[in-house]
Structure 1
Amino acid sequence: MPEKLVMLVILDGFGLSDKKEGNAVYLANTPNLDFYFKKYPHTTLSASGLAVGLPEGQMGNSEVGHLNIGAGRIVYQELTRISKDIKEGTFFLKKEFLDAIENVKKNNSKLHLFGLLSDGGVHSHITHSFALMKLAKDQGLEEVYVHAFLDGRDVPPACAKEYIKQFEEES
């Protein structure tokens, strides 16, 4: 039986869409790709949202795309896993969190939380900060100091005031 060759081609940053307006790929002259698509079997992959372990509607990136292709399955990203744990309630039972809170109580100390405060979703999500504050409150901590890092690359500049307002309302 003759050997069959298979080629995996990843066109990073290259997306196919039925939309024509504003679609650089559709407007581009791509004679080689057009030829390959007509002559050879091919497929496309979803590269955003839950298809690559990100929250629904979240734009994908090279890192998660390559990770999922290499694994051959959906690899849930930290953001999605944390959100899932919050929703299911297991977040509030994490030994590391409970140990840290117990240490604060035992030493009559204060809890300091450092982290990104936005809903950008690439490196963090504000709902995770809400969950940490809920955990601290539920565990009886009265003094929690939040050291927020603001205006990351995944949110518009100067949007921090809105996130601080949301955080204050939620806490």
Structure 2
Amino acid sequence: MSAPQKVVLMILDGWGIGSGDGSDAIATARTPFMDGLAEGAPHARLFTDGEHVGLPKGQMGNSEVGHLNIGAGRVVFQDLVRIDRAIADGTLEQNPVLQEAFAQARVEGRRLHFIGLVSDGGVHSHQDH
């Protein structure tokens, strides 16, 4: 049996493989150490957006989403996608907590208020909800 090989998992927030043009800060910077790693060490390119990290297609990811997926070793569907799916397949309407809240408000003749986030950010909330 051979000796175990060493592995480094290096996560650099904000560092990415971009277009390589003048608008790409990483490509225009002098990065000899990173260039050496890219040329001489095994490495992988990760997709960090959309369905690759449990977000809707075309939605930009962020550090939190990236770290969660790397740590889990699989795609972790974010709340936005889970809510969208629950609306689409009708399971949101059958959520027992929501059903109980609606029933209690109906029986007591009271209003039911929902509090949440609304934005076009797409990670923690979305205006479509």
Aligned length, in residue pairs:
128
Query: What is aligned with 1:147?
Result: none
Q: Take 1:122 and 1:70, find their aligned partners in 2: how far apart are those partners? A: 18
- In structure 1, C-alpha distance between the alignment counterparts of 2:25 and 2:6, rounded to whole Å: 31
Measured after TM superposition, the shift of residue 120 of structure 1 is 2.6
Contact kept in structure 1, 2:56 and 2:81, CA below 8 Å: yes
Unmatched runs of 5 consecutive residues or more in structure 2: none
1:106 equivalent in structure 2: 107
Give the match for residue 78 of structure 2: 77
Conservation of the 8 A alpha-carbon contact between 2:119 and 2:127: yes
Q: Give me the whole-angstrom Cα distance separating, in 1, the residues matched to 2:41 and 2:6.
A: 12
* Corresponding residue for residue 35 of structure 1: 36
Measure, in 2, the Cα distance between the counterparts of 1:3 and 1:98. Answer: 54
Q: Provide the identity percentage.
A: 46
- Report how far residue 19 of structure 1 moved: 4.3
The two structures have a TM-score, normalised by structure 2, of: 0.90
Alignment RMSD: 1.5
Q: Tell me the alpha carbon deviations over residues 86-127 of structure 1, each in whole angstroms, 9 at most, x when there is no partner.
A: 111111111111111111110011122222233332321122
Q: Which residues of structure 1 form unaligned runs of 5+?
A: 129-171
Identify the structure with the greater helix proportion: 1
Distance in 2 (alpha carbons) for counterparts of 1:2 and 1:96: 53
Greater strand proportion:
1
Q: Within 5 Å, which residues of 2 pair with 1:74-153?
A: 74-128=75-129
